[in-house]
Amino acid sequence: MKLVVLARAPADPDGAARSLAEAAGLALAEARMRLAREPPALLARLEPERADALAAGLRAAGLAALALPDRAPTDRDRTVAHAFSLEPAGLGCTPRFGEPLRIAWGDVLAVLRGIRATRSESEHTEVSKRLSVGTAVATGGLKLTRTESRTVRSSEETTEQVILVYARDGRVAALAERELDFSCLGPGMQPSSTANMAELARRLRERAPGAFHDDRLLRLGRRPLPFVAGGESTSRTASATATRADTAGALDLLAEAMRQALAAGLLP
């Protein structure tokens, strides 16, 4: 399957909605709703030939649309840095295992800064017995307690910033908040990892001014995506339910959509 993605907001939203409705066989209201999402926005999930045809039709109508596989590269396909260096000639990345990566500043195609979130929700039933005068009276003293149950709910969210650095030859470095040793920032090192990621992004922008820099995945990377399954799991017992949702796959898909849109001339 392939996803049809809108890479850039249309200049004429009404005209874009009519074009999408006609090309995809949607009601106009549905087309408007799909186009209302902040790009890169997923418009449809179709068989490859139909997705390619829809994307081509939308591009012919002036929209920045493209079709891409519904499985995107992940950290397994990237160099995930543990240490990094901002050298005069380029970016150096050293992973925990494997070969280091060097990208010259002039070879940096894009720097995308995003966030991935993990949300955990649990629900369980607690049963307790309490002394009850009413129960004792009603049963003539045969039963002195009553059983009560209540549902307890809890939720937790953890986030991680990640900066993806794309080279023009296809190599990719992932600078992930929980993996990095920030001592390479020297005197500019900040007291928190979040602030260090912002400082690292600022320095990358300074050293690779010719690259495409974008931070919108800080907003979009923590949201689930339409038309895309996965990233969520649920476990149940007789008295408890636990749900875990991970948006890492959403971030990977949106980042790949932006990379392909940039390569196709649909961005910036």
Average per-residue pLDDT for the chain: 91
- Residues with Cβ within 8 Å of 45's Cβ and at least 6 positions away in sequence, in order, are 1, 2, 3, 4, 51, 70, 227, 228
**Contact yes or no for 235/52 (Cβ under 8 A):** no
Amino acid at 28: L
11: which residues sit within 8 A by CB, 6+ positions away? 62
- The model's confidence at residue 157, banded by pLDDT at 50, 70 and 90, is confident
Q: Is the pLDDT of residue 148 over 80?
A: no
Please name each of the domains of the chain with its CATH number: 2-69 (3.30.1390.10), 81-120+155-263 (no CATH), 123-153 (no CATH)
Q: Average pLDDT of 244-266?
A: 93
Residue 143 confidence class, pLDDT cut points 50, 70, 90: low
d(CA 268, CA 260): 12
Residues 53-108 pLDDT 10s: 999 999 999 999 999 999 999 999 999 999 999 999 999 999 999 999 999 999 99
Counting residues of the chain whose pLDDT is more than 90, the rounded percentage is 73
Average pLDDT over residues 198-222: 96
| pLDDT on residue 129 | 72
The predicted structure's pLDDT at residue 88: 95
Q: Between vectors from CA 40 to CA 35 and to CA 44, what angle results, nearest 5°?
A: 55
The CA distance from 130 to 145, in Å, is 5
pLDDT tens track for 7-48? 999 999 999 999 999 999 999 999 999 999 999 999 999 999
Of 77, 80, 74, 84, residue with least CA distance to 95 = 80
| Torsion on CA atoms 188, 194, 197, 202, rounded to nearest 10 | -70
- Identify which has the larger pLDDT, 75 or 128: 75
Q: Which of 21-30, 187-196, 222-231 is least confident?
A: 222-231
